[in-house]
Structure formats: structure tokens, C-alpha cells
Amino acid sequence: MTQNIAILGASGYTGAELVRLIATHPSMRIAGLSGERKAGQSMASVFPHLRHLDLPDLVRIEEIDFSTIDLAFCALPHATSQAVISKLPGDLKVVDLSADFRLREAADYEKWYGKPHAATELQKQAVYGLTEFYRDEIRGARLVAGTGCNAATGQYALRPLIAAGIIDLDEIIMDLKCGVSGAGRSLKENLLHAELSEGYHAYAVGGIHRHLGEFDQEFSKLAGRKVEVQFTPHLIPANRGILATVYVRGEAEAIHAALSETYADEPFLQVLPMGEAPSTRHVRGSNFCHLGVVQDRREGRAIIVAALDNLTKGSSGQALQNANLMLGLEETAGLMLAPCFP
């Protein structure tokens, strides 16, 4: 049976990535695409790489007849998402890719996003969308909140270690490198090619990046105590990819074993042989996440390196994986594309 899908905010990168993935999905059909500023335009004009597909034109959200839609992806900016989802039919399944429903507590949302949450009832219903760790809740959810792309990467590296109690919870440092597309298709001077290419820098240094809200929430819940990691993201001149280098106190062998065991049956999580480290180029354009563990020369210290594609496993691929679960489909449907290298 074909599932009718709507994508709200289809003129941004995560929207386009959803279309790319659904294009080879065996049982989904794109029935509605919205894009406020580009309403009236064809997807071929907004994203010429999708011109071979038979897609509806972009419309305003209110022009979509949601009674015919089985599931909507909401790829809108933060805050806008709250307002839009509040007005959607109450029984429509929704996967939200914004930050609006990632944090469980209204106070946390306000702390990290600087204004009160405007849809606290919805916030309570939402399930956190890190598929491998919330699979059961996602299956039955009406609203799933896609994780931050950095937040997903760091959690894949750390959750099994925190759960197993094999690392020092007060001594976690995550140095993360991310590609440019994570910042979206927004007109900012620092995102211009001439500004970004050929150089790299740290940003949001000192523990102020919003994805820390997710780390704090998830790691503390998992550990049963407050956990605060150190986290520094860096912007790298490449379009896709997140590489998290995580410094922990613990035994590398035990860490490798915990990751290997946790992800043994996971279709998208690949733990490399002990001592090897992954590269973002080898997961590019795919839903895979590669993880490596190396023992440091200093005893009792280990480094975990995790790599994924921010637009796929970090957002749109994750969203599709969750949608598959919510619709009772094969979890991997449309997601087994091999990475595109070189």
C-alpha cells in the first residue's frame, strides 16, 4: 500500500534530501510539498537535481489537503515548526526535523533557545527520534522529534558507554567537525564559498551550542545523574559530514566491546576493527554511521571517533527511518543507498 507523504519546508536542504531518499522508496509517494517563499515554483526550478522526478509543485502549507496525507515531515525553521504543527490535524503522524520538540522540559527549551515554548502540550507527546534507542516509542508515536545532527553523532559514540558504566562521566570532551550543509540554505556571509572554503575554525566555543541541551538531557537521563560534556564544534570546508572525536577515561577494549555489542544488529551502525578510525567521506550521502575506538598512549584513556552524514543519518535519513517505523514499514526502506565516494 502506498503511503502519501507531505514535506513541509521542502525548499531547504533537509527537505531536498528527504525527496532524494523517498525517490527510491518502494512504498512512499510524495503528495504535497510546501515552501512559503517559493510557493508556486516547481521543485525542478528550486532543486534542479530533482528534475527527473514527477513531483507536485511547492505550495503554501494551507493549500495541502492533509486528509489524504499519511505522514508529514516538517523541515521548517525552529519556532516556525511549533506554530505549524499545532495547527495540523491532531491524528496526522508527524516527523519534525527542527529543534522544537527535542527537549522534554519547557525550561530546557527556553534556556537553550531563548524563548518560551509555544506548544508545551505537543512537546509532552513528542518522542525523541534517535531511532536505535527509542525504537519502540517511535513505532507508536504521533510526533517524533528529529535529533540535532551533532547530537546524534555524539550519542552514537557515547550512549553505550554511559549505559555500561565504563567511562568517567565527568571527563568527556567531544571535539566535533561538521560540514557546511548543516547550517542550511541560509544567506549568511560566513556561509559564502569565498569565506568558507580553504579554511576552518571553531564556533560556539565554550559550551554554548544548542545541541548541548540534547546531550545534557539524554546523558543525564541515561546515567541517572547530571552529566555535562565539553563540546566544541568546528566548521570544515566540505558540504556533508560530521566527525566527532570523543576523549574519555575508560578502557578502550571495554569501550569497543560495548559499542560492538550494542550495535551488533543495527543495520546502519558499523563499528570498525579496534584501533581504526572512520572518515566522513566513507559515509557521504548514506544513512550509515561508522565508529572507531583507539587506546591512547596514556593509560585509562581512549578516543572514540564517529562519522556520519549530517543530511542523512543526522537528519533526513533518520527522519525517514523513523517514518518507516511509524507507518509499520520495513525500517530500512529507501535507506540502503551506498555512500557516494569519491
By CB under 8 A, what part of segment 30-89 binds a second copy? Answer: 47-53
149 is a catalytic site residue: yes
Q: Which pairing describes strands 143-145 and 3-8: parallel, antiparallel, or unpaired?
A: unpaired
Q: How far is the CB of 313 from a second copy (least distance, A)?
A: 12
User: Segment contacting a second copy (CB under 8 A): 95-103, 114-122, 159-167, 305-313?
Assistant: 305-313
- Span of 95-103, 112-120, 141-149, 177-185 interacting with a second copy by CB under 8 A: 177-185
Please name the residue that has the C-alpha cell 576552518.
200
Between the CA atoms of 28, 29, 32 and 33, what dihedral angle is there, to the nearest 10 degrees? 80
Distance, in Å, from the CA atom of 143 to the CA atom of 127, rounded to the nearest integer, reads 6
Candidates 9, 129, 278, 317; binder of a second copy (CB under 8 A) is: 278
Paired with 242 in beta bridges are 178, 308
Among candidate residues 74, 149, 178, 289, the one labeled active-site is 149
Q: Which stretch binds a second copy (CB under 8 A): 131-139, 140-148, 149-157, 292-300?
A: 292-300
Residue with cell 531518499: 21
Q: Which of residues 3, 15, 20, 59 is near a second copy by CB under 8 A?
A: 20
| Separation of first and last alpha carbons in the chain | 36
Q: How far is CA 219 from CA 163, 236, 291, in A?
A: 9, 27, 19
Q: Tell me: does residue 224 bind a second copy (CB under 8 A).
A: no
In this structure, are strands 28-34 and 3-8 parallel, antiparallel, or unpaired? parallel
Based on the shown chain and the rule CB under 8 A, indicate whether residue 2 belongs to the binding site for a second copy. no
Residue from 40, 77, 89, 275 in contact with a second copy (CB under 8 A)? 275
According to the binding rule CB under 8 A, does residue 300 interact with a second copy? no
Catalytic positions: 149
